[in-house]
Chains A and B, each alone.
Chain A
Amino acid sequence: EAGVVQSPRYKIIEKKQPVAFWCNPISGHNTLYWYRQNLGQGPELLIRYENEEAVDDSQLPKDRFSAERLKGVDSTLKIQPAELGDSAVYLCASSSLLSNYEQYFGPGTRLTVT
């Protein structure tokens, strides 16, 4: 089966510019996660979706970050405007009851804000 797909893999933008990341989860996985991984750190959850509903967005900086999963399949994470401190790897993961809660991760998008 195809894994979690993310694009782009790399993005360089200037501060104050907008940026968007896209994720397509494994087919049939109803739970989707966005994590941020800062350099030298473990991933930290930004938002979790159950189908199209965001059930945990407590760590999402809502002043500049937004996310959507309109049809309960693929998802987009947006930052507007980007700040220098947003430079990180943004990871998408998906899971389902059938996978016994195991989360499958995509390769990530490495964002550099200059």
Chain B
Amino acid sequence: AQSVTQLGSHVSVSEGALVLLRCNYSSSVPPYLFWYVQYPNQGLQLLLKYTTGATLVKGINGFEAEFKKSETSFHLTKPSAHMSDAAEYFCAVSVPSGYSTLTFGKGTMLLVSP
């Protein structure tokens, strides 16, 4: 079974500051890892994903994440926050076996102040 822990239910940053959202996972097999973003009253949108290969993954809107097996982490970063980044972010894990279901963390709300 897989699980995801997202540290911090809320993260506040100033516009232009570094964004760091933390995600640790547990999986008995090499996982697939995902970050999704959810804006109010909308569904989830995929930001980026790690399946195999390069451990530093770049996604949309300037976000990136690095898979660190030794730390069982997949933290999400963005060098400079923008007001439009304010949303809820979910880390998810799946087993790489075809159409595997996603196990989500509880989410981190990113607040961006001017």
Q: Is B32 within 8 A of A33, CB to CB?
A: no
With both beta carbons as reference points, the residue of chain A lying nearest to B99 in the complex is identified as A31
- Knowing A42-B90, A101-B99, A102-B49, say if A107 contacts B42 (CB, 8 Å): yes
Q: Is B43 within 8 A of A41, CB to CB?
A: no
Taking Cβ atoms with an 8 Å cutoff, the residues of B that contact A are: 4, 9, 32, 36, 41-46, 49, 51, 90, 92, 94, 98-102, 104-107
* Residues of A with C-beta under 8 A to B101: 33, 45, 48, 56
Q: Mark A70-114, 1 if CB is under 8 A from B, else 0.
A: 000000000000000000000101010000111111111010000
Q: Is A91 within 8 A of B44, CB to CB?
A: yes
- Knowing A31-B99, A42-B90, A48-B99, say if A105 contacts B45 (CB, 8 Å): yes
- What are the 5 tightest A-B residue pairs by CB atom distance, in nearest-first order? A42-B104, A105-B43, A105-B44, A31-B99, A107-B43
* Residues of A with C-beta under 8 A to B46: 102-104
Beyond A91-B44, A93-B43, A107-B43, list 13 extra A-B contacts (CB 8 Å): A4-B43, A33-B101, A40-B107, A42-B4, A42-B104, A43-B102, A45-B102, A48-B101, A91-B43, A93-B44, A106-B43, A107-B41, A107-B42
Taking Cβ atoms with an 8 Å cutoff, the residues of A that contact B are: 4, 31, 33, 40-45, 48, 50, 56, 91, 93, 95, 100-108, 110
* Residues of B with C-beta under 8 A to A33: 101
In the bound complex, CA of A91 to CA of B102 (Å) = 13
B105 CB contact (under 8 Å) in A42, A56, A95: A42
Q: Is B43 within 8 A of A101, CB to CB?
A: no
A selection of 23 A-B contacts at a CB cut-off of 8 Å is: A31-B99, A33-B101, A40-B106, A40-B107, A42-B90, A42-B104, A42-B106, A43-B44, A43-B90, A43-B102, A44-B104, A48-B101, A91-B44, A93-B43, A95-B99, A101-B32, A101-B98, A102-B49, A103-B46, A103-B102, A105-B36, A105-B44, A108-B43
